[in-house]
Amino acid sequence: MPVFRNLTKVAKQALLSTPVCGCQPLTVAVRTISFSPRQVTSDASFHSVSFSETDHPKVLITGGLGQLGVGLAKLLRKRFGKNNVILSDIRKPPNNVFHSGPFIYSDILDYKNLREIVVNNRITWLVHYSALLSAVGEANVALARSVNITGLHNILDIAAEHGLRLFVPSTIGAFGPSSPRNPTPDVCVQRPRTIYGVSKVHAELMGEYYHHRYGLDFRCLRYPGIISADSMPGGGTTDYAVQIFHDAIKTGKFECNLRPDSRLPMMYIDDCLRATLEVLEAPADTLSMRTYNINAMSFTPEELAQELRKQMPELEVTYNIDPVRQAIADSWPMDFDDSNARNDWGWKHDYDLPELVQTMLNYLESERVRSLCRVEPLD
């Protein structure tokens, strides 16, 4: 250390002294990256890439094997081209997903890996779906904190550094028992009581901060409970509204882990994916805020069961309340006020409860018939 300090002192004196040869003093160039909050090595090179509205974006979806990623990739590939949408996850994809378009391994906790993916594939839009959901997060808070918060920080820094358009979903779980519940506006007291909700409020505020501080094009939708037929429940409090359809067709019986009167906002997946595309494509000057509520319907387990019985009169529903999930549901909104999304960028849902039930039953019944018709190959 003394040697290093002496060398530093000598170098400093040499730089500050006037040279006897009459040459200009030596100057040291220092690069500062004003738009990136993370320190970058001095030998990094940066290239400005112009992106016009007529070009197709190059999209990366993290956490792509979850409930929403595969469906969004299909929608975006149809609009922008198969090779312009890259699905990523840390899990091995099923064959149909792997062969449907580009798929790569991506760990959001590995900053270097993420940065290489963005640079090597010239990504312009990033959809960040990696997260642990509410009930799963409560069972493993440390992992949820790591994935939902530390992973988000990596995403934010890379998006700011490379000028990406970043979409991060939020949730009804971003609200708490002190929030107005019926309806819940875009801006109000939040104070969630789950690590999932806390991490989503953190994401909303960090995204808006990066937007104002670094000019990041951050966009966020607070999703209600999302119902889809082609994916199994993934650990969320609203998952009963998916499981009931699978159990109704398979056994004619369903045991619900929430009270029959637990009202929550819900949405069919097609509406959710379309809303995500619409807010991503919305001109920036139409967005009066960076985080919006979106909604389609609100119902209770009992109301959903009654609608199902119109098609399946023999359906039996019993209730075995999970106190953890019930406490979460009781702290969440009963209905979302999404008037700002409807006014700013024209959001409008297509599916109400009757259409939702009919669509789910049609899909699952066709899948059941298809599976019965499959013929196993002979050895």
Q: What is the pLDDT of residue 202?
A: 98
Is the distance from CB of 133 to CB of 187 less than 8 angstroms? no
Residue pointed to by tokens 């890996």 = 113
> How is residue 66 written in tokens?
């979850």
Quick check: is 80 in a domain?
A: no
Domain containing 151 — which CATH number?
A: 3.40.50.720
Quick check: is 114 in a domain?
A: no
Quick check: is 236 in a domain?
A: yes
Helix, coil or strand: residue 13 = helix
CA angle at residue 82 from 77 to 83, to 5 degrees? 125
Compute the CA torsion angle 37, 39, 42, 48 (nearest 10 deg): -30
Quick check: is 70 in a domain?
A: no
Is the distance from CB of 273 to CB of 71 less than 8 angstroms? yes
CA distance 229 to 217: 32
CA distance 136 to 270: 25
Q: Which of 129, 196, 214, 351 is catalytic?
A: 196
CA distance 333 to 27: 60
Helix, coil or strand: residue 255 = strand
Q: What is the pLDDT of residue 231?
A: 72
Domain count, the chain: 1
Quick check: is 9 in a domain?
A: no
Please confirm, yes or no, whether 351 is among the known catalytic residues: no
Q: Which domain holds residue 156?
A: 131-374
Helix, coil or strand: residue 188 = coil
Please name every residue paired with 170 in a beta bridge, in sequence order, or none if there are none: 222
Burial (CB < 10 A; 0-12, 13-18, 19+), residue 29, is: exposed
Within 10 angstroms of residue 203's Cβ, the number of other Cβ atoms is 26
pTM equals 0.83
Nearest to 226 by CA among 257, 172, 268: 268
In terms of residues, how long is the chain?
379
Residue pointed to by tokens 């359906």 = 315
Q: What is the pLDDT of residue 38?
A: 61
> How is residue 67 written in tokens?
């409930």
Please name every residue paired with 336 in a beta bridge, in sequence order, or none if there are none: 184
Quick check: is 73 in a domain?
A: no
Q: What is the pLDDT of residue 29?
A: 36
Averaged over successive runs of 10 residues, the pLDDT of the chain (379 residues) comes to 43 40 36 46 40 74 93 97 97 95 97 97 97 87 95 98 98 95 96 94 98 98 92 78 93 96 97 98 97 98 97 96 92 96 98 96 84 56
